[in-house]
Each structure stands twice: as C-alpha cells, then as structure tokens.
Chain A
Amino acid sequence: MTLIYLDNNATTKTAPEVLEAMFPYFEEQYGNPSSIYEFAKKSNHAVKNARAVLKDFINAADEKEIIFTSCGSESANTAIRGVLNMNKNKRHIITTKVEHPCVLNLYKTLEKQGYKVDYIGVNSNGELDLAELEQAVNYDTALVSVMHANNETGVIFPIEKISEIIKSKNKETKFFVDAVQTAGKIPIDVQACGIDLLSVSGHKFHAPKGIGVLYVNSKTAITPLIIGGHQERGLRAGTENVPYIAGLAKAAELASDGLKYEATEVKRLRDKLESGILRNIYNSRLNTAVTNRVPNTTNIGFEYIEGELILLHLSDSGICASSGSACTSGSLEPSHVLRAMNVPFTSIHGSIRFSLSRYTTEKEIDTVIEVMPKIIDKIRTLSPYQDELEALKKLKSSNYQG
C-alpha cells in the first residue's frame, strides 16, 4: 500500500534538496557562528545568507528584521508578548475567533492577566467581519493579531485592507500576522501589506520541524522571550541552529520558485479532488468559501457520519487527512473554526480537511476520488439517521435534475 499524504497543513515532507543543504552543517561545518576563527566563518555565512533569503521571501526591507526561532509558536509568542511588554500602558488586543490555538491560548492567558481581548467573528464562508474589526480598534488597542490564512479552511484574510483599517483608527496599534499557513503557498509582501510583525514555520513548507521565523519591522520594538546571549540582536538568545537555518533558506528558495506551480497545478488538483467528492457523494458539502483560499486546502463536511471514522478508514487505504471532529483531537467539542462559521451540527462532526502539496500527484487524487465514495457508503450504513440520509439523497438528485 502506498502512502497518499494529504495533510500538508499539519506538516510536510522535508524536501530532499533541503536535507542536502543541511548535512554539511552537521558533518563538516559545525562551528559556532559567533566564534572568531576561520573555521566558524562558513557557519556564520550560512546564517547570513539565510537571513537574506528570508528577507526576500517575505519582501522585508532589511535583513535585520528577520529573527530565527524554533517554531511558529515561538515566533507568535515572542511577537505578542514582545509588543505588549513595550506598550505597557495599552491593555486592549484584537484577534479573531478562528486563530490557531498557539495564539488563542496565549490570549486566554493574557485575559487572565488583565488584558481585554476582542475576538472578531467570521461568516459561514469563513470570511472575517471587517466592520466588526473596524469598530473594535480604539486608542487603547496595543495589538491586532490576524492569521494570513486559516489552517482548517484555507480562507485567506485581506491583510492589506485590515492593516489600512487599523492604521486609519490608531497609528500606534501594532499589526501581527500569523503567516504559518501561507508561507510557501502564496506570495507574502510585508511592506505592501503594512505588516509590523509576522510569523512563519519551516515545516509547513518542506523544511524540517524545529525552525521558524519572526519578522519584526524596524519601526516596531519588542522585548525578547528568551533572554541570554547576543544572538539575533539580543531578541532571541541561544546558539543559532545553523543546519536548520540553512535548510529553511533552501526551503524558502524552493517555495519562491514554486509559487506559480502552487497557484496553477496544486490548485487544479485540489479543485479536481473537491468537485470529484462533492459530485459523487450525496451527503457532502463544502465548508468554506469557494474563492479566496490558499490553493492547497479544501474542507468538506459529510452529513450524519463522523469524521474520525472516515479518517480511520482512509488510513486503512493509506490516505492521510485530518478532521475537525471532536473525537480526533481528544477534545470533546468540534473545531472552534467550524463552530465560528456556524457549520451545521449535522455535518460539523463529519468534516474532513484535505491539504495538498507540490508532491501530490494526479494519480493520488484519482485514487482518493475513487476510494472516498466507498468509505462514505460503508460508514453511512452504520448511521442511525437513515431517514435523514434518504431525504438528502432525494434532494440532491432532484437538484441535479433541476
């Protein structure tokens, strides 16, 4: 049985070119970039070079604005805590209801410490309520924190517009963007979009796990989260993780070159998978907006059946995907993102996310389109909601005839 990996929003395969770029810094070039002797120079250059690559990757103005971290969560924590520490007189934060837990749980903690946090909602397509956001910004707002695209639905938020709204209401308010789900999938331009701080995670675009980036523009002051040596201009202590930084740079280069492929070929395969499932399975529905999505993600709800069971059967066929159902995560409630979108309770527990990558092949997508109806059919026979399913079937077939 061959593996069909369609969970690239969770993590990705490390690209062979990336691994190759990393090896020398384990084997021969293991010097500490801070050391003074000739031997360490290559390590030092690797980090410098990576900083230049990452600057171009997100179109930062200066290499000094790039800070290497261990992961997306560290980048986000540093950005958020760092900005708040520098603006202690401001006690208001704005974010969204659909942020990643690494951000949401931090805001829950900050609320307990006395911050007021507004959580902006989304509509049933997963699109942000910009009017609500505009209303929320006030003189006391230290930070607005919005993800570039949502990990579960792939819906892209209009970052440039949001930045305009924020700055028109309060020029001092800082804007942090969690770009973990867009880096490597769509272009990012921090200058054009008016972003103050931005987080990126390497393992979401074929670098290994354990490396992240924080962008902080030169007009924004932050305090470090990890205090120690002078590395990263004192903003992130700890000896630079040279092999991973080198690998990240390679992954960013490959991703930049591949953006067109993402927008055309990956999108074509995603659309093929999506329409193949929606057409062939009568109790399926698309959970997201049709347009304005990252090209690799789709989220489909299967009514009256449960997501974990779908994943287990997919796994038996060698197919990896993920679900917003309560049962898969160990929590007892379904995904906070799908709940914020008011996905009906008949399908929220049966929601499946497929996320593709540049390694996904047409043959793999054809296999999933073929296997999926059989799995859903098998699980449907178990459902206590046979009458409801029968009604759906009639509705769908009459819609097609109509």
Chain B
Amino acid sequence: MWDYSEKVMDHYRNPRNVGKIDNADAVGEAGSLACGDSLKIYLKIENNIVTDAKFQTFGCGSAVASSSILTEMIIGKSIDEVRKITNKDIADQLGGLPPEKMHCSVMGYEALEDALKNMRNNDEYIDMDELRSNENTSEKIVCNCFGITENMIREAVLQNGLKTVDEVTNYTKAGGACGKCKNTIANIINTCSNKEKSEDNQNNLTFAQKILKINNIIENQISPELRKDGGDITLVDIDGNNVLVKLRGKCSGCKNSHITIKAFVESTLRQTVDENINVIEVS
C-alpha cells in the first residue's frame, strides 16, 4: 500500500547499527509500545564527536528506516552538528516518506533530542528536572491518546511549516485517535503562524512583546495627549493586527472621534509598532 522509496526499503530490509551500546554516553527514547512505535538510541561520544550510535526500534518499515539512517547521519559528526538535525533532514535522507508516515521521522528526531538532553558529559550536562520546570507550559500534554506535548507539536509545525491539523496528525500522531484535541492543535498552529508573521513584520517581536509595546505607547504617549482635551483611551483587546480601544471622557461621544482614532491613535501605533495595525473603536 505504501509507496516507500528505495532507500526506505533498503534500510528496513538491512537496518544499520542495530542494538545497544553498553556504557553509552547518551541514551534517548521516544514513542511507546502502546502507541505502536518506540525507539531507543544509544550514543558514544568522545571529544564532542559521536563515535558510535546504535538503535532499537519497535515499529513499521519507515520507523526502522528512520532510526537506521539517523545513526548513519550522526556517526562522526560533532555534537553541534548533530544538534542541527531535524526530522525533515531524516525524511530527506530517506528520499522522502509518505505524508502519513512523517511521524516516524519525528520520532527519530525526538529520540535524538532526548539523548542530547541526557548526555553524560559534564560540560554539556543539563538537569532534566530543572529543564522540565522551566518548560512547564510546553511540557503540557495536548494529545492524551499518544502523549504528545504542546512543545512537540509546536516544533513539528515550525520545522516543517505545517498548516493543517491533518498535517500535524501525520507528523506527530496527535489527534489521530479520539480527535478531542483537534481544536487545541488548531490553536497551536494559529499561534505558531501568528508568531511567524509577527516575527517577519516586526523585527522579531513575539506576540506578548507586541502587546506590551502597544500598551506602553497607548498609556505613555497617546493617553496623555487625549487627557489634555478632557478625554482618555483604554486598550480593550488585541486580535492579530486589530487593536480594539475604548474612548472615554469627552472623546466618547465626540463626533470627530473617528478622526482621533485614525489620524492620531492608529498612525502613532503604525509608526511605532507595526504598519499593519488597524485601530477599532468599541463602545
């Protein structure tokens, strides 16, 4: 049924570097037996170079092929080079994977990432518990069926430019069983694409930074000017590039209020924050 590439077939027929490394310097795991695929990867590291890698995989043809080629990709590479490998690189090396099987390459990437986090190298050692407490929100499980976290989804979306919930399911499995988390996944995709857009448009402002900046300018530049005329302004909400404001005092009810909004509030925000901002008055 699957149209596997020659490379995929070669790797599941003759997997390279199968097994375990005793005294490995790093071990990484991804997936689980209950979910239908899991992978364990073992690394031997000397002077920041991966000198050996082995894997054990429970999974389909493309899962075995992804694991096998990953070990080939990292042996002889420096840790810095290995860190740059993404799931897309794994799939590309295999000559592509069917869309429904992209999650196999993601599993390879996750196991590698896990191994790098757990590295037994004093210089590079990172305390996993500390890391987890720092990443509280991103470690939140979104898909309970497959145990997929928000962070895993976000990474897959950003690395592969995913646009739809179905694509996220193909890459991460999230949403592939009961489907209850599909709305949450859609929201994550939205925040990722908003983030991308805002990064493009505003010199790498995150959405939170953008909100803070708009709020600051309204409070410190715009509001004092309006107060001089006996009016005032408050920020109600920000929805993408739409800034929703409420006019107060003399301004509310002023028949020229739309001029105040467009000619003063909007032009100030466009100059200081983002030229795409629209200011909308709400009552």
CB–CB B39/A333 < 8 A:
no
CA of A384 to CA of B37 in the docked complex: distance in angstroms? 10
CB–CB A385/B60 < 8 A:
no
Closest A residue to B1 by beta carbon equals: A328
Q: Answer yes or no: A135 CB below 8 A from chain B CBs.
A: no
Check A306/B176 contact, CB under 8 A, given A325-B36, A332-B169, A382-B18.
no
Q: Is the interface of B mostly helix, strand, loop or mixed?
A: mixed
Residues facing B in A308-361 (CB within 8 A) are: 308-309, 312-313, 316, 325-328, 330-334, 345-346, 349
| Total count of chain B residues near the partner, CB < 8 A | 31
A369 CB, nearest partner CB in chain B, Å: 22
Contact of B146 among A325, A332, A349, A384 (CB under 8 A): A332
Closest B residue to A307 by beta carbon equals: B60
Q: Answer yes or no: A383 CB below 8 A from chain B CBs.
A: yes
A378 CB, nearest partner CB in chain B, Å: 9
CB–CB B56/A382 < 8 A:
yes
Q: Answer yes or no: B86 CB below 8 A from chain A CBs.
A: no
CB–CB B33/A309 < 8 A:
no
One digit per residue, 1 when the CB lies within 8 angstroms of any chain B CB and 0 when it does not, for chain A 374-399 equals 00000001111110000000000000
Q: Answer yes or no: B250 CB below 8 A from chain A CBs.
A: no
Check A309/B169 contact, CB under 8 A, given A316-B13, A332-B146.
no
**Which residues of the partner chain A approach B13 to less than 8 Å between Cβ atoms?**
313, 316
Q: Is the interface of A mostly helix, strand, loop or mixed?
A: loop
**Which residues of the partner chain A approach B12 to less than 8 Å between Cβ atoms?**
309, 312
**Which residues of the partner chain A approach B169 to less than 8 Å between Cβ atoms?**
332
CB–CB B18/A306 < 8 A:
no
Residues facing B in A261-277 (CB within 8 A) are: none
A314 CB, nearest partner CB in chain B, Å: 12
CA of A328 to CA of B18 in the docked complex: distance in angstroms? 23
Check A326/B36 contact, CB under 8 A, given A312-B61, A316-B13, A332-B173.
yes
Check A349/B56 contact, CB under 8 A, given A309-B61, A328-B1, A332-B177.
no
Contact of B60 among A304, A316, A327, A331 (CB under 8 A): A327
**Which residues of the partner chain A approach B100 to less than 8 Å between Cβ atoms?**
330
CB–CB A309/B56 < 8 A:
no
Contact of A305 among B20, B58, B61 (CB under 8 A): B58
A9 CB, nearest partner CB in chain B, Å: 16
Q: Answer yes or no: B76 CB below 8 A from chain A CBs.
A: no
B123 CB, nearest partner CB in chain A, Å: 29
CB–CB B34/A309 < 8 A:
no
CB–CB A382/B15 < 8 A:
yes
CA of A402 to CA of B270 in the docked complex: distance in angstroms? 83
Contact of A382 among B1, B57, B101, B146 (CB under 8 A): B57
CA of A309 to CA of B11 in the docked complex: distance in angstroms? 12
**Which residues of the partner chain A approach B173 to less than 8 Å between Cβ atoms?**
332
Q: Answer yes or no: B59 CB below 8 A from chain A CBs.
A: yes
CA of A327 to CA of B66 in the docked complex: distance in angstroms? 14
**Which residues of the partner chain A approach B177 to less than 8 Å between Cβ atoms?**
332-333
One digit per residue, 1 when the CB lies within 8 angstroms of any chain A CB and 0 when it does not, for chain B 58-74 equals 11110110000000000
Closest A residue to B103 by beta carbon equals: A332
**Which residues of the partner chain B approach A349 to less than 8 Å between Cβ atoms?**
33, 36-37, 58
Closest B residue to A332 by beta carbon equals: B176
CA of A384 to CA of B59 in the docked complex: distance in angstroms? 10
CA of A312 to CA of B34 in the docked complex: distance in angstroms? 21
**Which residues of the partner chain B approach A385 to less than 8 Å between Cβ atoms?**
33, 58
**Which residues of the partner chain B approach A313 to less than 8 Å between Cβ atoms?**
13
| Total count of chain A residues near the partner, CB < 8 A | 27
CA of A309 to CA of B61 in the docked complex: distance in angstroms? 5
CB–CB B60/A308 < 8 A:
yes
A323 CB, nearest partner CB in chain B, Å: 10
Check A384/B56 contact, CB under 8 A, given A331-B176, A332-B146.
yes
A134 CB, nearest partner CB in chain B, Å: 30
**Which residues of the partner chain A approach B58 to less than 8 Å between Cβ atoms?**
304-306, 349, 382-385
One digit per residue, 1 when the CB lies within 8 angstroms of any chain B CB and 0 when it does not, for chain A 237-258 equals 0000000000000000000000
CA of A327 to CA of B146 in the docked complex: distance in angstroms? 14
CA of A307 to CA of B176 in the docked complex: distance in angstroms? 19
CA of A383 to CA of B29 in the docked complex: distance in angstroms? 13
B186 CB, nearest partner CB in chain A, Å: 18
Residues facing A in B1-39 (CB within 8 A) are: 1, 12-13, 15, 18-20, 29, 33-34, 36-39
A343 CB, nearest partner CB in chain B, Å: 12
B69 CB, nearest partner CB in chain A, Å: 14
B76 CB, nearest partner CB in chain A, Å: 23
B33 CB, nearest partner CB in chain A, Å: 6
One digit per residue, 1 when the CB lies within 8 angstroms of any chain A CB and 0 when it does not, for chain B 91-107 equals 00000000011000000
CB–CB B176/A345 < 8 A:
no
Q: Answer yes or no: B44 CB below 8 A from chain A CBs.
A: no
Closest A residue to B57 by beta carbon equals: A382
CB–CB A345/B56 < 8 A:
no
**Which residues of the partner chain A approach B38 to less than 8 Å between Cβ atoms?**
384
Closest A residue to B176 by beta carbon equals: A332
CB–CB A327/B56 < 8 A:
no
**Which residues of the partner chain B approach A334 to less than 8 Å between Cβ atoms?**
36
CA of A75 to CA of B42 in the docked complex: distance in angstroms? 54
Closest A residue to B67 by beta carbon equals: A382
Residues facing B in A155-169 (CB within 8 A) are: none
Given contacts A304-B33, A330-B100, A349-B37, 7 further A-B contacts (CB under 8 A): A304-B58, A306-B59, A306-B63, A308-B61, A325-B36, A332-B36, A349-B58
3 tightest A-B CB contacts, nearest first = A332-B176, A327-B60, A308-B60
Give me the interface of B with A, judged by CB distance under 8 Å.
1, 12-13, 15, 18-20, 29, 33-34, 36-40, 56-61, 63-64, 100-101, 145-146, 169, 173, 176-177
- A sample of 21 inter-chain contacts (CB < 8 A) reads A304-B33, A306-B58, A306-B60, A306-B63, A308-B60, A312-B61, A316-B13, A328-B1, A328-B60, A330-B1, A330-B100, A332-B146, A333-B145, A345-B34, A349-B33, A381-B18, A382-B18, A383-B56, A384-B29, A385-B33, A386-B20
